[in-house]
Amino acid sequence: MRIFSAVILISILTVPAIAEDKLSGTLSVNDDKSLNITIEGDAAKTLFDGMTGKAVDQECTGTTDKTDKSGLTCSKGDGKYFCEFGYSFKKRAFTNAVHNEDC
């Protein structure tokens, strides 16, 4: 049921981009069996622009990020947009995307 909910959420968030055939990104599974989802391009810009959170400049990455409590983080930098979020099968909940790298 949670996987179905994740698919529905992704579909709802990207309806404008899907209508224009401009959905691109990646899907990956981490060592802890959590799922990372990255959306890029026009769909990410639509999400970034629609987020109500404060945009914060990130010194480490050089991007400007917006994050909401669901774990969705959208970024813009160098004229590009991308959004990331995760799904933890262990917690059965949406999370921030998991990264195994340092700044």
d(CA 74, CA 47): 7
Of 11-20, 34-43, 63-72, 83-92, the range with the lowest mean pLDDT is 11-20
Residue 78 has pLDDT above 60, yes or no: yes
Q: Give residue-wise pLDDT tens across range 32-58.
A: 778 889 999 999 999 999 999 899 999
First to last CA, the chain: 36
3-state DSSP helix/strand/coil percent for the chain, to nearest 5?
25, 35, 40
